[in-house]
């Protein structure tokens, strides 16, 4: 099966009726880079930086981070790398993170995590922003902020970034002056208000792992409620659709970097909704590419988007099977 997929590696990604799609990879560890190149990704759509902060007592210094980001961007040979600022807290615990948030909280997923934690630790956040900026002198880098829920968070993050740029200017250190900035849409409120964010960023990226967790109120790591975790829930689909519409309206790219983007079962549905940028685990890439290359968008069932109005999970499953029938 793998070998039959490998012929897709060198093919461009586009639907049978000619719509070009961008397939990017998610990276969690430096060693993922070789798998990513082998899978034929067009870049990295989500570079998770949490690994840098794990299993240690103090956060990494600027030079260490710069080396890590430079390695990845050079390893990608000119392809774009979207670096997400540290998303610690909740399910992403760190040993050295103990001093970051000492409170034992009942609902860590609703607590001080991701951008919220970044903004309460400005020194640590600035170290990361400086390292990312400096690495942008060595290749195409974009910056992405996790779990944005208010405009204020976005402005604060941007402000810190501008301060870091000014510092680097004073120090005579190089960086990409046109570095693009994006926000992750992974909170229902942010999907509903995606337009508001779309006006102020260069791109949006939908994090379905958290978006589903927060929309359906199910802890993403709690096996007891796992059965409720459903990307086809109409609320989830409507929020994804709203985010894509906001991107179209404001003419900025929207990508998806949660697990849903790498699940071949949803590829055609997402194509029909207008998703053009998929970022996923490198192992999922060729199968998703095969589906894209074998799909004629114009031939998808006319009722594809009706799935957003389907209230019954069994009916939604039937519809998705119909969408995925090979002759479409
Ligand atoms: C997501 O929430 O979908 C996502 C891509 O981020 P993470 O899984 O790292 O929280
Ligand atoms: Mg997330």
Mind listing the pLDDT tens digit for each residue in 233-258?
999 999 999 999 999 999 999 999 99
What tokens appear for 235 in the block? Answer: 């609320």
Q: Is 254 within 8 Å of 244 (Cβ atoms)?
A: yes
Q: Is 186 annotated as a binding residue?
A: yes
Which atom, in ligand 1's list, is nearest to the CA of 48? 9
Query: How many whole angstroms from 211 Cα to the centroid of ligand 1?
Result: 8
For residue 231, the ligand closest to its alpha carbon is 1
pLDDT interval class at 80 (50, 70, 90): very high
ipTM above 0.95, yes or no: yes
Q: Is 209 annotated as a binding residue?
A: yes
Residue 164 catalytic? Answer: no
Sequential DSSP letters for 143-181:
EEETT--SHHHHHHHHHHHHHHHHHHHHHT----TT-EE
Residue nearest to atom 1 of ligand 1 (CA): 207
Distance CA 295, CA 85 (A): 35
SS3 assignment, position 184:
strand
- Prediction pTM value: 0.95
Mind listing the pLDDT tens digit for each residue in 87-118?
998 766 665 445 455 567 888 899 999 999 99
For residue 260, the ligand closest to its alpha carbon is 1
């Amino acid at each position: 099966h793998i070998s039959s997929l490998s012929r897709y590696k060198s093919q461009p990604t586009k639907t049978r009726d000619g719509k070009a799609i961008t397939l990017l990879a998610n990276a969690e560890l430096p060693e993922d880079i070789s798998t990513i190149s082998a899978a034929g990704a067009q870049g990295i759509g989500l570079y998770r930086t949490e690994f840098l902060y794990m299993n240690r007592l103090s956060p990494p210094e600027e030079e260490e981070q710069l080396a890590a980001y430079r390695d990845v961007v050079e390893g990608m040979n000119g392809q774009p790398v979207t670096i997400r600022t540290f998303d610690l807290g909740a399910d992403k615990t760190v040993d050295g993170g103990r001093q970051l948030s000492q409170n034992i909280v009942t609902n860590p997923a609703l607590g001080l995590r991701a951008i919220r934690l970044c903004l309460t630790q400005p020194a640590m956040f600035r170290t990361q922003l400086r390292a990312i900026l400096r690495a942008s002198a060595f290749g195409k880098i974009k910056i992405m902020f996790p779990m944005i829920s208010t405009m204020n968070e976005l402005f604060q993050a941007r402000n810190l970034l501008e301060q870091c740029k000014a510092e680097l200017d004073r120090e005579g250190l190089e960086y990409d002056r046109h570095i693009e900035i994006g926000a992750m849409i992974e909170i229902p409120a942010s999907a509903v208000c995606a337009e508001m964010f779309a006006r102020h960023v260069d791109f949006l990226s939908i994090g379905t792992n958290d978006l589903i967790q927060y929309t359906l109120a199910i802890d993403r790591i709690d096996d007891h409620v796992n059965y409720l975790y459903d990307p086809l829930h109409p609320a989830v689909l409507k929020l994804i659709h709203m985010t894509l519409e906001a991107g179209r309206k404001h003419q900025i790219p929207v990508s998806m970097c949660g697990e849903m983007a790498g699940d071949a079962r949803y590829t055609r549905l997402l194509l029909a909704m207008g998703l053009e940028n998929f970022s996923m685990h490198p192992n999922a890439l060729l199968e998703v590419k095969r589906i894209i290359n074998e799909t004629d968008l114009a031939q998808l069932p006319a009722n594809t988007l009706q799935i957003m109005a389907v209230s019954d999970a069994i009916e939604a499953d039937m519809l998705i099977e119909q969408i995925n029938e090979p002759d479409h």
